[in-house]
Amino acid sequence: MATGNGQSGRTAGEAGWHASRYNLMAPIPDSKNVAIANLFKGNCAEYTPIEMYLLSVLDELDESHPIIERFSRRGVIANFDERAALETMGRAACAMPHGVGLTICPTMGCNFDCPYCFEDHFAGKMSQEVQDDVVALAERMLDASGAKDIGVTWFGGEPLLAPEVIESLSGRLMALAEERGGEYSASVITNGYLLTQEAADMLERCKVKSAQVTIDGLGATHDATRRLANGKGTFERITTNLRDVKLPFKVNIRHNVHEGNKHEMDELEAFIDRLADESGNDLHYYPASVSGSETADERGEQVGLLCGSDSSEVGIRQEAGRFRVGQGHYCGAHTIWGVGVDEKGNLQKCWEAVDKPAISFGTAHDWDPNNPLATASNANNLTMYLNTACPVPDDECRECVWLPHCAGGCPHKRIFEGRQCVAFKDDPEAYVLALHARIGEDE
């Protein structure tokens, strides 16, 4: 082979370059171009016929060909084992201390009775003694990890039923982060019924930067599933709060989509946009498919309405909005530095389990991340979550093109219900085109 004119004398194939195993492609309608999404790099771009030809003959190109750098930057080619890299990232995520993450339930009580809720609710608020344990746990986690930052998600139950716990604990945790020279951040998941101006002002003092509020449709459609424990509807109260209260943080409006309300997706999104314009509040609509749970199945109410994992349209809209670089872990359940705490101080690896003390791995009073297994009251309840990260204990998952995107899927569902693949797994072109439609958006 000639080596002049900038050629290296080796082909790209000889230099170790190969097409990424995590490329998804889709022909672009009314165009000769093709969209390629690379799930490892978290990149989606449009390619011309000439570029597609060069990709098809990659092995024969000189390794110094200018297209190599462009393809590499976008992730459509690689010169390393991407799956091995994912597995390394999965192992590292278990112990890598980006910060301490706490999901705190000041109460497991709730003023709502939603038929699809995965929780059992019971009265009671976090005592001062348990609050002391939570602060001491956060301090031990910072010491063991070497991290400085603390991130908190207020959860429940309905956390705004216990605002005094939120305010008291927030002050102490903020002071702890400040002592370490770190940052403190917080979010809240609330049904929105108690999101008054007083509550919003309190949350602002507690450095809450974002909230999630669920609206399941318009008017009676919402009220069919998002209702008070006494059966009364909640739509008017929630939307009035979102319109009239000055909300000093971003609010993500989650739409739990099921067979009874999926026809209102576009109308509800437009309603939320109008509500944002009218109020000046930072409101953002996003749809999420929901499926049955053990608790919902036991209730036997309206579970037949739920779409479950076959809701590919909903899944595509949801996932295209949060396309990201591939990673070897799914969520905080795959890291030792993220825990959930219920109002009695029981520790969980997943917020879908905060109401189930039987699968707690320890308590805020006793658990020490310096010696995580010896101080766990049930080490199996800790390790079973950590061990679902990459390398995923599932040969089919390890071979799947979607692995960087899903990292094996929700660990809680994998453990208790079995593997749940992305709803649009068999329709990759629709997903790629959804990503392609977002190219150029100001994120």
State pLDDT tens for residues 342-380.
999 999 999 888 988 999 999 999 999 999 999 999 999
In-domain check, residue 395:
no
Region 22-40: mean pLDDT is 97
Kindly report each contact of residues 358-367 with a partner whose C-beta sits within 8 Å and lies 24 or more positions away, as own/partner. Answer: 363/133, 364/130, 364/133, 364/134, 364/136, 364/137, 365/130, 365/133, 365/136, 365/137, 367/137
Q: Does a structural domain hold residue 354?
A: yes
Please give the residue range of the domain that contains residue 153: 98-390
Q: Is the pLDDT of residue 275 over 60?
A: yes
In a domain, 272, yes or no: yes
CA-wise closest residue to 174 among 164, 165, 184, 182: 184
Query: Do the domain assignments include residue 441?
Result: no
Provide, rounded to the nearest whole percent, the portion of the chain with pLDDT above 70: 91
284 has pLDDT over 90 = yes
Q: Is residue 355 assigned to a domain?
A: yes
User: What H or E segment, with its residue span, contains residue 284?
Assistant: strand 283-289
Report CA-CA distances (Å) from 3 to 69, 209, 275.
19, 57, 64
Q: Is 432 part of a structural domain of the chain?
A: no
User: In this predicted model, what pLDDT tens digit does every residue of 373-423 receive, in sequence order?
Assistant: 999 999 999 999 999 999 998 999 999 999 999 999 999 999 998 888 887
Q: Which of 73-82, 234-243, 282-291, 383-392 bottoms out in mean pLDDT, i.e. has the lowest?
A: 282-291
Q: Are 372 and 349 in contact (CB under 8 A)?
A: no
CB 271 within 8 A of CB 253: no
Can you tell me the mean pLDDT for 297-314? Answer: 48
Phi–psi pair at 236, nearest 5 degrees: -65, -40
List the end-to-end C-alpha distance of the chain, in Å, as a whole number. Answer: 46
Mean pLDDT of the 334-347 span: 95
pLDDT tens for each residue of 141-195: 999 999 999 999 999 999 999 999 999 999 999 999 999 999 999 999 999 999 9
Confidence (pLDDT) at 233: 96
DSSP state of 306: B
Q: What is the mean pLDDT of residues 264-269?
A: 94
Distance CA 381, CA 279 (A): 45
Instruction: Please write the tens of the pLDDT for every residue from 245-257.
Output: 999 999 999 998 8
Average of per-residue pLDDT values in the chain: 90
Q: Which residues, 6+ apart, have CB-to-CB distance to 354 below 8 Å?
A: 103, 105, 108, 119, 155, 340, 341, 342, 346, 348
- Amino acid 294: pLDDT: 55
Return the H-helix or E-strand segment holding 214: strand 208-214
* Amino acid identity for residue 364 in this structure: A
Average pLDDT over residues 47-74: 97
- Split into its structural domains, the chain has a count of 1
Is 64 contained in some domain?
no
Query: pLDDT value at position 1?
Result: 38
217, 342, 352, 346: which is closest to 295 by C-alpha? 352
Take residue 265 and report the two structure tokens written for it: 């997706």
The residue with greater pLDDT, 441 or 289, is 289
Task: Tell me if 210 is assigned to some domain.
Answer: yes
Residue 309 has pLDDT above 90, yes or no: no
* CATH number of the domain that residue 103 is part of: 3.20.20.70
